């Protein structure tokens, strides 16, 4: 069973707009991570937020975590065409040695 589920599955916006994608998970976690994947290539780590943190920033990225709702959101501000990619959340779940990825949000930023 999948631990993380992203929403929406696809998102299309204009350059300069903000993009928000959400992730829900099922069990307790130690941390939640977000990754980006460009068209069939390897994933690239974006940001990690620990279960005792509520918000984290990195450049144009803002991640929030609500452990009571078992959900996280990734906000990309002032999006660029180069942000076009698929975004995945990943959790370590109850078994701390395993990682679980969601099915991803496909973001298209139109120039």
Partner 1 sequence: EAQVTQNPRYLITVTGKKLTVTCSQNMNHEYMSWYRQDPGLGLRQIYYSMNVEVTDKGDVPEGYKVSRKEKRNFPLILESPSPNQTSLYFCASSLGQVSYEQYFGPGTRLTVT
Binding site for partner 1 (CB under 8 A): 2, 4, 30-31, 33, 35, 40-45, 48, 50, 88, 90, 92, 96-104
Residue 12 or 30: which CB sits closer to partner 1?
30
Residue 44 or 82: which CB sits closer to partner 1?
44
Spacing of C-alpha 69 from chain mean position: 16
Residue 15 or 37: which CB sits closer to partner 1?
37
Spacing of C-alpha 84 from chain mean position: 14
We find the least distance from the C-beta atom of residue 89 to partner 1, in angstroms, to be: 9
d(CA 45, CA 37): 9
d(CA 26, CA 96): 14
We find the least distance from the C-beta atom of residue 88 to partner 1, in angstroms, to be: 6
Residue 57: which of 66, 46, 70 has the closest Cα? 46
We find the least distance from the C-beta atom of residue 81 to partner 1, in angstroms, to be: 23
Residue 4 or 84: which CB sits closer to partner 1?
4
């Amino acid at each position: 069973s999948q631990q993380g589920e992203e929403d929406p599955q696809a998102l299309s916006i204009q350059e300069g707009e903000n993009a928000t994608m959400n992730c829900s998970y099922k069990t307790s976690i130690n941390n939640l991570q977000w990754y980006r994947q460009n068209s069939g290539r390897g994933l690239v780590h974006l940001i990690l937020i620990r279960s005792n943190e509520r918000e984290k920033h990195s450049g144009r990225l803002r991640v929030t975590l609500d452990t009571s709702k078992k959900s996280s959101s990734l906000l990309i501000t002032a999006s660029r065409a180069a942000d076009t990619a698929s975004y995945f959340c990943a959790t370590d779940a109850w078994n701390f040695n395993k990682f679980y990825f969601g099915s991803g949000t496909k973001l298209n930023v139109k120039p």
